[in-house]
């Protein structure tokens, strides 16, 4: 299984689709369009967030849907997962640090996640083969969020949240993620959605990394 992770708007779903087509494998997308909590999370006032606990509800929703996806995706080494349980923890942690999720809620979340990870340990395949991390400048991230045009993501008041996520992402990937090898794709350099040559080069980089990993087994 191959996991693609990145900041909101970086292009992970686009790359997941391209990679799934390239490898002839199944893609398990992040649940967005049918997610009833996501628009509420992005549009709620601070008072509504405190009263209705949308950040906590959103993380529980992603935990549930991602767990189902990862169990299916682990059945084939070339299946592609659009974000993972590992990365979900980072989003929950940032929301806790910002005071949007309480310490009690975060403790409950971590307990649920730990139980799910223990269940995955019972499967023949327990973790991803490769984590592809799309890294880029904060300006590029904001530009791509604006381009994809989801109204609830574009509000100016969300910039502090996006910056908090972006500022800690590299540290989480390079110092805390331990489940697999990491391949970094620089989205300031590669526009694999709109540039055919960039797309080919990115897919070649992924092919080469997968070949190295699987030859080394």
Do 129 and 213 meet the contact criterion of CB atoms below 8 Å apart?
yes
Give the confidence band of 123 by pLDDT, cuts at 50, 70, 90: confident
Give the confidence band of 75 by pLDDT, cuts at 50, 70, 90: confident
Q: Is the dihedral of CA 183, 181, 2, 24 positive or negative?
A: positive
Mean pLDDT across the chain, nearest whole number? 89
Per-residue pLDDT at 119 exceeds 70: yes
Q: Residue 149's pLDDT is what?
A: 63
Cα 60 from Cα 109, distance rounded (Å):
7
Q: Is the dihedral of CA 202, 206, 211, 216 positive or negative?
A: positive
Per-residue pLDDT at 24 exceeds 90: yes
| Lookup: tokens for 58 | 């959103």
Per-residue pLDDT at 217 exceeds 60: no
Per-residue pLDDT at 216 exceeds 80: no
Q: Write down the domain spans for the chain.
A: 2-215
Q: What are phi and psi of 209, to 5 degrees?
A: -65, -40
| Lookup: tokens for 48 | 């509504």
Q: Render the burial of 12-24: b for 16+ CB within 10 Å, e for the rest.
A: bbbbbebbbebbe
Q: What is the DSSP string of 30-97?
A: ---TT-SSHHHHHH--HHHHHHH-HHHHHHHHHHHHHHHHHHHHTTSTT-EEES-HHHHHHHHHHHHH
What are the C-alpha distances in Å from 47 to residues 2, 34, 41, 51, 87?
39, 25, 12, 6, 27
What is the CATH code for 2-215? 3.40.50.300
Which residues are marked as active site? Answer: 82
Per-residue pLDDT at 132 exceeds 90: yes
Residues comprising the chain, all counted = 217
What are the C-alpha distances in Å from 14 to residues 153, 175, 201?
17, 26, 15
Contacts of 81 (CB under 8 A, 6+ apart): 1, 2, 3, 4, 16, 28, 69, 70, 73, 128
Average pLDDT over residues 105-131: 89
pTM of the full structure: 0.89
Q: What is the DSSP string of 123-165?
A: SSS-S-SEEEEEE--HHHHHHHHHHHT-GGG--GGGHHHHHHH
């Amino acid at each position: 299984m191959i996991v693609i992770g990145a900041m909101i708007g970086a292009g992970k779903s686009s790359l997941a689709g391209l990679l799934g087509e390239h490898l002839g494998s199944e893609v398990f997308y992040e649940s967005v369009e049918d997610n009833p909590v996501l628009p509420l999370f992005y549009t709620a006032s601070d008072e509504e967030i405190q009263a209705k606990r949308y950040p906590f509800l959103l993380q529980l929703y992603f935990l549930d849907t991602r767990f189902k996806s990862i169990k299916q995706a682990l059945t084939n080494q070339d299946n592609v997962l659009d974000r993972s349980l590992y990365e979900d923890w980072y989003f929950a942690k940032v929301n806790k640090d910002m005071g949007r999720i309480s310490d009690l809620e975060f403790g409950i979340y971590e307990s649920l996640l730990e139980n799910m990870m223990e269940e995955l340990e019972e499967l023949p395949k327990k973790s991803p083969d490769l984590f592809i991390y799309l890294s880029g400048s904060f300006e590029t991230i904001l530009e791509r969020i604006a381009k994809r045009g989801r109204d609830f993501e574009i509000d100016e008041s969300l910039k502090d949240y996006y910056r908090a996520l972006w500022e800690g992402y590299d540290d989480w990937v390079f110092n805390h993620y331990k489940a697999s090898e990491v391949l970094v794709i620089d989205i300031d350099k590669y526009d694999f959605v709109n540039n055919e040559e960039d797309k080919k080069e990115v897919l070649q980089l992924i092919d080469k990394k997968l070949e190295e990993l699987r030859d080394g087994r």
